Amino acid sequence: MNYFRKSIHEMSGYVPGEQPALGTKIIKLNSNENPYPPSPKALNVLREIDGEMLRRYPDPTATSFRLAASEVLGVPSDWIIAGNGSDDLLNLIVRAVGEPGKQVVCPAPTYVLYRTLAEIQEADFVEVPYPDDYQLPVDLLIAAQGAVTFVAAPNSPSGTAISVADLETLAKGLSGLLVIDEAYVDFAEENALELTKKYNNVIVLRTLSKGYSLAGLRLGFGIANPQLLAELNKVKDSYNVDALAYAVAAAAIADRDYKTANAEKIKVSRSQLAVTLKQLNFEVWPSQTNFLLVRPPKGDAERIYQTLKMQRILIRYFKQPRLEDKLRITIGTEEQNQILVNTLREIL
């Protein structure tokens, strides 16, 4: 007996990276979490939470967070929408746009959740292949004319940068929405925030999960013109962001120097790890994120993934076309990266 819609029964569902229990002795480099702790200022806010704040329903639009983000980004607060992680906002957008006969488009390989959300909505899902150098296939994306087009910029799992000039050409050429998912912007050289002012169809998504070390808190946000956000606000749960999340996130985003200092450390580690892996004959894609996509010398990615796992090091292996000979490795602390490299040397 199947109680559910045919499309739900038949889809496979998104599979997140493994999350071993806290306290498990493991080096976890599989979900692109930040290896450094959250801002001490954010943790102070958490310690001082008043019970009254939890007794009441939260502010439906997370105003305190939006004001803090507005200050940091130089964007008016009514151009910001908060979500229960940026995944919540991706979901909102697909629910607001997607239906049978409408096209959800993205370059691929990319973040797999875009497909899952489109399938739930029974929208048509169209993947435009990235070339091997991961330059954005702008003309093909424009030709596809999605009702909504998702571009992770920088991209995951390739880690590669997407040029703002290409995104601008895309924004101009699309009659539907363009969602620029900037989950990794804190480790990148460029961002596309300006495009939200120039083009009515552009939404930029950000998250505190990666750059701000707050993946467990669940706070993401979108930036777009207020007319566009008004439609998304109709679809969102009234209380999609809890009171703890927006209070802690407001303090975290205001502590910009702390975030930048950690991102700088990660960028240095990223370069060092890339050099070391190349010396071990790995192919390494140029990354503007907190992870590296690499191809081991013999392409035996699954074996290396399994062997590392037995030695309590978790990295990400995607068993799918174009990725089955590659591995995605989150940048850890210097010590974690060193252990990874030593273990890889033994395995090879």
Ligand X SMILES: *Cc1c(COP(=O)(O)O)cnc(C)c1O
CA dist 158 and 145 (Å) reads 24
**Site map 42..71 versus ligand X, x via CB under 6 A:** ------------------------------
Phi, psi at residue 106, to the nearest 5°? Answer: -155, 155
Site string for ligand X, 86-125 (x = CB under 6 A): xx-----------------------x--------------
Supply the minimum distance, in Å, between the C-beta of residue 3 and ligand X: 28
CB of 157 to ligand X, least distance (A): 9
Choosing from 136, 179, 183, 274, the residue that interacts with ligand X (CB under 6 A) is 183
Question: What secondary structure letter does DSSP report for 103?
Answer: E
Strands (E), the chain: 27-28, 80-83, 103-108, 124-129, 148-152, 177-181, 202-207, 220-223, 283-284, 291-295, 313-314, 327-330
In the sheet with 148-152, reading across from the earlier edge strand, the strands are 80-83, 220-223, 202-207, 177-181, 148-152, 103-108, 124-129
Q: Which is nearer to ligand X, 80 or 344 (CB)?
A: 80
The residue (of 121 and 207) whose beta carbon lies closer to ligand X is 207
User: Residues 242 to 301: which contact ligand X by CB under 6 A?
Assistant: none
DSSP 287: -
The CB-of-261 to ligand X minimum distance in angstroms stands at: 21
According to DSSP, residue 153 is labeled S
Q: Does position 35 bind ligand X by CB under 6 A?
A: no
Beta bridge partners of 293: 328
For ligand X, the binding residue among 119, 166, 168, 181 (CB under 6 A) is 181
List residues near ligand X by CB under 6 A: 32, 85-87, 111, 152, 156, 181, 183, 207, 209-210, 215, 220
